């Protein structure tokens, strides 16, 4: 049986979520925009799912809009803030997910807003003092876009601290929570965030569906033009079974948060301990003590044999990665680790876990690694 340790890329679909989705596929085929009984039933499923998400995040149902995933949600937040809300400056970080960085490239190339990158410290954390200084340097309407947990090294951002910094400066705050949704409680009534994005397949839901939270103070126009779906915010017939699956997965994730997080933390800490004990030359990227508990980014000294490390792990039945999985299926390494260690010749392996992983699997991984170095 294979050992799957690439849960930052995607997670296995939960059987209960699959059951909920297949029931919708088999029995609820109406178009949610139709006024007949089948359409009304489909609409009720979507609105029930919206309520589930809003309840989990402690926000209004009118602030949740379903999308095709985190990439669309992030594009929507960044580009619509510039187009519709008069944002003329965006402060982000060079360690963001590519869908944010490439969106910022598009905005910069179009000349519609200035883009700045906040300083990053040696461990990969956002320099909050630099953020404060940058916000004080201009009166231009500004959006700060920073992810909650880095998808490659796991470093966590304090939502409360950044929210307060932005509020004090009169800036807007967009947060990519794709990696943390379902793993950390988020209270949008207590923490001021203007835009927030999530993606179902990162918390044991289906691929191809996500959501964006848009604070009710921010009135934007549709990102995708079409019909009046998603409260006139996103054209296109809704992915009903995907939306139902998203809600089922999110609800189950938070209902089992304490148990799941304890299990993942234990296995991740065990992995870190065993790697350090067996391989004194291993290094841990970022700041493992202030990072997402499901993720451990490691690096090993360069060797000719090590150049095939990820492929050899795969051949041994172990799924891991070198960095983000969003490069057309090609391992191009980690732009995050490359930014922190530009001259490093080490081999990076990102291990990311879910609550099904075990210490026994860790023992197998550590043993197999010895044959590959």
Residues with a known catalytic role: 326
Are the C-beta atoms of 124 and 95 separated by less than 8 Å?
yes
Question: Which run of H or E residues covers position 98?
Answer: helix 98-110
Say which residue the tokens 């919708």 belong to: 24
Instruction: Find, among 149, 179, 152, 153, the residue nearest to 162 by Cα.
Output: 149
State the pairing for strand pair 295-300/172-176: unpaired
Instruction: Find, among 153, 95, 131, the residue nearest to 289 by Cα.
Output: 153
Residue 179 sits at φ, ψ, to 5 deg, of -80, -20
Residues with Cβ within 8 Å of residue 167, at least 6 apart in sequence:
173, 192
Nearest-angstrom CA–CA distance, 49 and 28: 14
Nearest-angstrom CA–CA distance, 325 and 306: 20
Question: Which run of H or E residues covers position 300?
Answer: strand 295-300
Give 3: exposed, middle or buried? Use CB within 10 Å, 0-12, 13-18, 19+: buried
């Amino acid at each position: 049986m294979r050992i799957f340790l690439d849960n930052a890329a995607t997670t296995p679909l939960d059987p209960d979520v699959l059951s909920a989705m297949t029931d919708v596929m088999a029995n609820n085929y109406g178009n949610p925009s139709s006024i007949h009984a089948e359409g009304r039933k489909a609409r009720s499923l979507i609105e029930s799912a919206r309520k589930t998400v809003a309840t989990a995040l402690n926000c209004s149902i009118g602030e949740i809009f379903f999308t095709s995933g985190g990439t669309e949600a992030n594009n929507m937040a960044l580009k619509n803030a510039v187009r519709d809300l008069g944002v003329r400056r965006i402060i982000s970080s060079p360690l963001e997910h590519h869908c944010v960085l490439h969106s910022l490239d598009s905005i910069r190339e179009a000349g519609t807003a200035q883009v700045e990158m906040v300083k990053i410290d040696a461990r990969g954390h956002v320099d909050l003092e630099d953020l404060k200084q940058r916000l004080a340097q201009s009166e231009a309407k500004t959006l700060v876009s920073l992810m909650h947990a880095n998808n490659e090294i796991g470093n966590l951002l304090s939502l409360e601290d950044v929210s307060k910094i932005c509020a004090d400066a009169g800036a807007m705050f967009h947060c990519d929570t794709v990696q943390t949704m379902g793993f950390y409680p988020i209270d949008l009534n207590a923490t001021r965030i203007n835009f927030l994005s999530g993606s179902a397949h990162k918390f044991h839901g289906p691929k191809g569906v996500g959501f964006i939270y848009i604070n009710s103070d921010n009135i934007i126009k549709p990102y995708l033009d079409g019909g009046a779906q998603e409260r006139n915010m996103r054209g296109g017939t809704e992915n009903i079974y995907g939306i139902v699956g998203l809600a089922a997965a999110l609800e189950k994730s938070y209902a089992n948060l304490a148990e799941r997080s304890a299990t993942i933390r234990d296995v991740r800490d065990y992995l870190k301990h065993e790697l350090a004990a067996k391989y004194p030359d291993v290094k841990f990227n970022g700041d493992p003590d202030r990072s997402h508990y499901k993720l451990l980014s490691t690096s090993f000294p360069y060797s000719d044999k090590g150049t095939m490390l990820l492929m050899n792990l795969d051949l041994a039945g172990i799924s891991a990665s070198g960095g983000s999985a969003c490069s057309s299926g090609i391992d191009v390494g980690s732009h995050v680790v490359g930014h922190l260690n530009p001259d490093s010749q080490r081999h990076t392996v990102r291990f990311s876990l879910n609550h099904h992983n075990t210490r026994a699997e860790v023992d197998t991984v550590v043993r197999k690694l010895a044959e590959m170095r």
